[in-house]
Structure 1
Amino acid sequence: MTWTSAFGRACGWLLQKIVNGLALSRISPNTLTFIGLIINIVAAFFFGYARRANADRMFLYAGLVIIGAGLFDMVDGRVARQTNQVSVFGAFFDSVIDRYSDVALFFGLLVFYARGNRFFYVFLAAFVMTASLMVSYTRARAEALIGQCKVGFMERPERIVLIILGALFNHWGTMAPALWVLAVLSTITVIHRIRFTYLETERRKLQPTT
């Protein structure tokens, strides 16, 4: 067994213990989802209240808080399955809350750059916020038409990882490159999904009807 597989097993064991404890508490999975949003809003406040003098420390706090929010994002579905509380509304609610969490984080960054008069990065943060929403929107609209559209790389987990890395290592100026990567790859993902949906709808038009 390699050390990476051992680490993965240990993390999986710990995560399952957390899920077991939450399942025993009978807490609603939707409540866990909402708690994750509140924690992300706290991270957004750390971003927004940062100044040049303390930005590294505040971004570090924000990154750690986002990791904490990610824990709730990982366990809500598991708790729902373990306690037989899986529902269509729960999946819908989780998706909606994820969008609010994304917007909160990018809005916090937007406020930080605005307070520092870094207007180009205000625009960049706003663009990334819009692009991240469009990644989710194009999938939702496509799947309403063609059933499945999972193409593209820049899904929410990848976005969150990049934000966390940018926040934790902001001392070395990593947040700006992280935003650039998010902007480019999110846009490519949106274009990929538009193209995929177009080709799929055209293919279905050519299929003979029975």
Structure 2
Amino acid sequence: MAKIFQVSARAAMAHVIEPVARRLIAWGVTPNQVTVAGTVGVLGGSIGLGAQGFLVAGALVVTFFALVDLVDGTMARLSGGSTRFGALLDSTMDRIADGAVVGTVIYILAQRHDQWGVVGGIICLVTGAVVSYVKARAEGLGLKANVGIAERAERLIIIGIGGLLSGFGLEWGLAAAVWFLAAVSVITIWQRMAYVYKQAEAADAADRARAAEAGS
């Protein structure tokens, strides 16, 4: 399924990210350390800068660490695969960072008395959690849900762009980014649910066929 960042763009980023990942591994840095550092960076950019009114600096920091989030996965792959705890840590830190970013945006919009922007922010908060939950629950059932127009990096970059626009005087940019993010998040949920539905139907049909054969 199509993504906001197409395969070609992701491949171009990989050419930058992979050498960085290799260098960090050579220095003895672990994927888990990068995961935690990335979360601290996002928290600093959103709460420490964005919520204090430094939108441009906050947006740049959040966008940078959204890309850093791609580094730990690359490091794990180059190191021979992620550990079970590493996967759990990554998901947990992602949820904390996402909540901080969207919560900060809601706070800023509330300060501006932008009620519709706040509504959009709440939708983003809920749909962002559901996007991640669908994938986690599907994987728990032995299915895949790694599809959708907007994955985590895309969602953070959308917010970052909105913050930059707002910081440069285009205040409508933040609310526009929030509503755009809400829309693509809803689409991503639908795409993942449809993708999982097809797999689940096929798996259930196979189970019924095996049960029928065993009973005959």
What TM-score, normalized to structure 2? 0.79
For these two proteins, the number of residue pairs brought into alignment is 196
Task: State whether residues 32 and 76 of structure 1, in contact with CA within 8 Å, keep that contact through their aligned partners in structure 2.
Answer: yes
Tell me what 1:190 maps to: 189
**CA, structure 1 residues 13+157, in 2 after alignment: closer, same or farther (shift >3 Å)?**
closer
Match of 2:52 among 49, 54, 63: 49
Distance 2:205 2:15 in 1: 50
Other structure's SS at 1:169 match: helix
Distance 1:197 1:113 in 2: 35
The one-letter code sitting in structure 1 at the alignment partner of 2:188 is: T
**CA, structure 1 residues 77+197, in 2 after alignment: closer, same or farther (shift >3 Å)?**
closer
Distance 2:198 2:77 in 1: 35
Distance 1:142 1:20 in 2: 31
**CA, structure 1 residues 192+81, in 2 after alignment: closer, same or farther (shift >3 Å)?**
closer
Runs of 4+ in structure 1 deviating by more than 6 angstroms, as ranges, are: none
Structure 1 residues 25-34 or 75-84, which shifts more? 75-84
Deviation of 1:38 after TM superposition, in Å, equals 0.7
Distance 1:143 1:14 in 2: 29
Structure 1 residues 61-70 or 187-196, which shifts more? 187-196
Tell me what 2:73 maps to: 77
Task: State whether residues 35 and 72 of structure 1, in contact with CA within 8 Å, keep that contact through their aligned partners in structure 2.
Answer: no
Match of 1:145 among 122, 135, 141: 141
User: Per-residue displacement from partner, 1:128-174 (whole Å, max 9, x unpaired)?
Assistant: 01101101101111222252123321211221221121122223332
Tell me what 1:54 maps to: none
Deviation of 1:67 after TM superposition, in Å, equals 2.8
The one-letter code sitting in structure 1 at the alignment partner of 2:132 is: S
Tell me what 1:122 maps to: 118
**CA, structure 1 residues 21+115, in 2 after alignment: closer, same or farther (shift >3 Å)?**
same
Q: Are 1:27 and 2:29 matched, yes or no?
A: yes
Please provide the CA RMSD for this pair: 2.4
Query: Runs of 5+ in structure 1 lacking a partner?
Result: 51-57
**CA, structure 1 residues 14+197, in 2 after alignment: closer, same or farther (shift >3 Å)?**
closer
Query: Runs of 5+ in structure 2 lacking a partner?
Result: 1-7
User: Per-residue displacement from partner, 1:6-27 (whole Å, max 9, x unpaired)?
Assistant: xx87x66654443343223212
Tell me what 1:67 maps to: 63
